[in-house]
């Protein structure tokens, strides 16, 4: 019945740990944009558990069928169908009046220039006090946090992806936001919490 639904084991593993943090940091949020909704699993899981927010999904067109399939099954009134969004190709969705942004496991996939553009664009467009929660593997002071992340980064770069970014670089690019928390997460990941100033 839901043939176009894709499933990510890593999403399934990390979503409980992530929602425990989002419940704190998105407590006062109303309109959230998810950058890179992927399979759609996170959107459904988080929107179910954050009924006070409207969760806007976005991704490249090839992922929309899976996102919509997860949404069709869940039937949540606070979850919005995906739109196509790619930094450098599409303008920021001003019409959504966003006060929060979430992204998971996208920064290391993006080319470095696009990761920089994401940080700059979110910083420029979030209203004062708006929150950006960014999940994934990050380097700290030029160092990998594990051998697994070192190997993962090498495979990413060999595959043509941008690779793991350093928190110092993300901070440098995020002019207009301040890093208010750096939460160590399972499997050598972080949840970085940025606030627009």
**pLDDT tens-digit series, residues 45-85:** 999 999 999 999 999 999 999 999 999 999 999 999 999 99
CA proximity to 73, closest of 36, 40, 51: 40
Does pLDDT of 2 surpass 70? no
Give residue 174's pLDDT. 98
Q: What does the domain layout of the chain look like in residue ranges?
A: 9-196
Sheet holding 100-104, edge to edge: 79-84, 54-59, 31-35, 100-104, 131-136, 189-196, 177-185
Does pLDDT of 1 surpass 70? no
- Compute the distance between CA of residue 144 and CA of residue 42 in angstroms, rounded to an integer: 26
**pLDDT tens-digit series, residues 14-50:** 999 999 999 999 999 999 999 999 999 999 999 999 9
Give residue 28's pLDDT. 97
**pLDDT tens-digit series, residues 125-173:** 999 999 999 999 999 999 999 999 999 999 999 999 999 999 999 999 9
User: Which value, to the nearest 10 degrees, does the dihedral of the CA atoms of residues 166, 171, 175, 179 take?
Assistant: 140
Strand ranges (E), 79-165: 79-84, 100-104, 131-136
Q: What is the CATH number of domain 9-196?
A: 3.40.50.150
**For residue 195, what are the β-bridge partners?**
131, 178
């Amino acid at each position: 019945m839901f043939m176009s639904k894709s499933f990510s084991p890593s999403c399934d593993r990390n979503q409980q740990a992530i929602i425990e943090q989002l419940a704190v940091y998105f407590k006062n949020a109303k309109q959230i944009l998810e950058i890179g909704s992927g399979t759609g699993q996170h959107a459904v899981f988080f929107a179910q558990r954050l009924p006070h927010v409207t969760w806007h999904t976005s991704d490249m067109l090839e992922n929309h069928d899976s996102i919509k399939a997860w949404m069709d099954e869940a039937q949540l009134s606070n979850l919005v169908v995906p739109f196509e969004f790619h930094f450098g190709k599409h303008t920021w969705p001003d019409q959504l009046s966003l006060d929060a942004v979430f992204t998971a496991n996208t920064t290391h996939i993006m080319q470095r220039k696009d990761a920089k553009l994401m940080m700059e664009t979110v910083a420029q467009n979030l209203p004062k006090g708006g929150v950006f929660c960014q999940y994934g593997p990050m380097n700290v002071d030029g160092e990998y946090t594990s051998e697994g992340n070192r190997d993962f980064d090498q495979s990413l770069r060999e595959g043509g992806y941008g690779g793991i970014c350093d928190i110092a670089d993300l901070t440098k690019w995020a002019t207009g936001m301040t890093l208010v928390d750096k939460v160590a997460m399972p499997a050598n990941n972080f949840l970085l919490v940025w606030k627009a100033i």
